[in-house]
């Protein structure tokens, strides 16, 4: 990773400083590095899932990654090589960091009541920004997490307006996310071309198992499809709720799969004290397991 990135990522992760690690240009490669721990798609018994069961990887039927995690899923499925994927993430992260610095923007995680109308709330937030003199303001749903939960991204003034008027729009809880910009909105358009160029130079294989795209919640079909949608994902909302429905759709009576989340946090298991997976599919949540890469490494060292 250090050779690909040109800086000591491990030291940054372990020693900080935290504000440097939180920057998009460093945070995304730090998350992406975890793909190495999975090993190749087949026979990765010595990877992070190995201690759970050697058969887990061999019997894997599908993979999905949230936002930058989609690169991890594609590495796991054998569609991307680790070095190439990490370099693409580096280019993506630096371009998104630059786009973020151009406009004061951010992301707001929202849990709403059934009556919540997110599109109307965003419309009024944009009108508020226009009243402040902001031209072409951005405020839109950027992540569909689970029923009654969304991430809204856009100009900071719009997000502040939504927080101040949360009760009016039937938002039960709101929380600003620790990110530097409005990811998965048109404010990230400056990052599109750099990522498109680097993906053209990378050899992309057809995945060895089904990998689901954030853009439409459907399976990737071939290498050109992957290349196209990874670029589109930067400016498109993450359809995570829809992806979960696609992944777990099966005929009545069909054996239900186990779900493993690999990484340093159980974001799929819980976010804002709610379980994304439980809200999307109760049966899937009952067979969910979080594999903490950091804890596994520490146990191995002991």
Q: Residue 187 in contact with residue 215, Cβ under 8 Å?
A: no
Q: Is 67 a catalytic residue?
A: yes
DSSP string, 208-277: SSEEE-TTTSSB--SHHHHHHHHHHHTTS-EEHHHHHHHHH---TTPPPPPEEEEESS-TTT-BTTB-HH
Q: Is 213 a catalytic residue?
A: no
List 142, 184, 213, 236, catalytic entry: 184
List 67, 210, 223, 246, catalytic entry: 67
- Catalytically active residues are 67, 184
């Amino acid at each position: 990773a250090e050779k690909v990135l040109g800086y000591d990522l491990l030291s940054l992760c372990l020693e900080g400083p935290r504000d440097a690690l939180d920057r998009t240009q460093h945070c995304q490669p730090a998350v992406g590095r975890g793909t190495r721990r999975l090993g190749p798609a087949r026979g990765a018994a010595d990877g992070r899932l190995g201690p759970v069961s050697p058969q887990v990887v061999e019997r894997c039927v599908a993979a999905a990654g949230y936002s930058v995690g989609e690169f991890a899923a594609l590495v796991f499925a054998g569609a991307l090589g680790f070095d190439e994927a990490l370099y693409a993430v580096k280019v993506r992260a630096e371009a998104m960091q630059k786009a973020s610095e151009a406009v004061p923007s951010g992301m707001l995680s929202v849990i709403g009541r059934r009556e919540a109308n997110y599109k109307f709330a965003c419309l009024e937030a944009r009108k508020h920004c226009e009243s402040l003199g902001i031209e072409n303001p951005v405020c839109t749903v950027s992540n569909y997490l689970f029923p009654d939960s969304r991430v809204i991204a856009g100009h900071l003034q719009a997000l502040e307006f939504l927080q101040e008027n949360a009760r009016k729009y039937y938002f039960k809880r709101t929380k600003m996310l620790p990110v530097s910009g409005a990811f998965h909105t048109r404010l990230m358009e400056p990052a599109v071309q750099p990522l498109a160029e680097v993906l053209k130079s990378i050899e992309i294989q057809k995945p060895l198992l089904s990998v689901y795209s954030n853009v439409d919640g459907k399976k990737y079909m071939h290498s050109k499809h992957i290349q196209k949608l990874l670029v589109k994902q930067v400016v498109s909302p993450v359809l995570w709720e829809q992806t979960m429905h696609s992944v777990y759709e099966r005929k009545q009576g069909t054996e239900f799969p186990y779900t493993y989340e690999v990484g340093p946090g159980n974001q799929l298991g819980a976010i804002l004290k709610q379980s994304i997976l439980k809200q999307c599919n109760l049966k899937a949540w009952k067979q969910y397991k979080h594999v903490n890469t950091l804890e596994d490494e520490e146990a191995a060292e002991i």
